[in-house]
Amino acid sequence: MELFGPLAGEPLSWPEVALGVAESVVSGKVQEGVLFCWTGTGVCIAANKVPGIRAALCVDAETARGARKWDHANLLALSLRLTSQAVAKEILDAWFSTPFSEEEGQTVARVTAIERKYKGG
């Protein structure tokens, strides 16, 4: 586990934290990332700007399962405002226990093709 941002004692803004986590995921330094911000939306948007990141904002365990299984999401975004400790545990348990369904490989490849089309633009 690697901590980023205020938890690691660094005074970083949420876009910088999202970038650091996303870069760690795409470089292979870590397998996946979890980000928190007040709504979860900002860090999700910022992380998804990094090619190779498939960040998902999840508000419940079923959404987390679907993001992992069907979307091959590699970064989880959570809302500090909406997510209780009990719900966060359910989401994290679902996230870490759900593998990607290889049957969805072609669909994820289509998303990657969209990313390539607009990369650098």
State the chain's mean pLDDT as an integer.
93
Dihedral sign (CA 41, 46, 64, 97)? negative
What pLDDT is attached to residue 100?
94
Do residues 14 and 43 make contact, with C-beta atoms less than 8 angstroms apart? yes
Do residues 49 and 14 make contact, with C-beta atoms less than 8 angstroms apart? no
Beta strand 33-37 with 55-57: parallel, antiparallel or unpaired? unpaired
- Find the catalytic residue in 25, 37, 58, 78: 37
Residue 39: pLDDT above 60?
A: yes
Domains of the chain: 11-113 (3.40.1400.10)
Give the pLDDT band of residue 118 (cuts 50, 70, 90). Answer: confident
3-state secondary structure of 96: helix
Between 7 and 98, the more confident residue is 98
Do residues 55 and 75 make contact, with C-beta atoms less than 8 angstroms apart? yes
Residue 50: pLDDT above 70?
A: yes
Q: State how far the alpha carbon of 2 is from the alpha carbons of 11, 20, 25, 29, in Å.
A: 16, 11, 11, 10
What pLDDT is attached to residue 112?
92
Name the pTM for this structure. Answer: 0.91
Taking residues 104-111, what's their average pLDDT?
A: 92
What pLDDT is attached to residue 42?
97
Give the pLDDT band of residue 96 (cuts 50, 70, 90). Answer: very high
| Annotation says 58 is catalytic | no
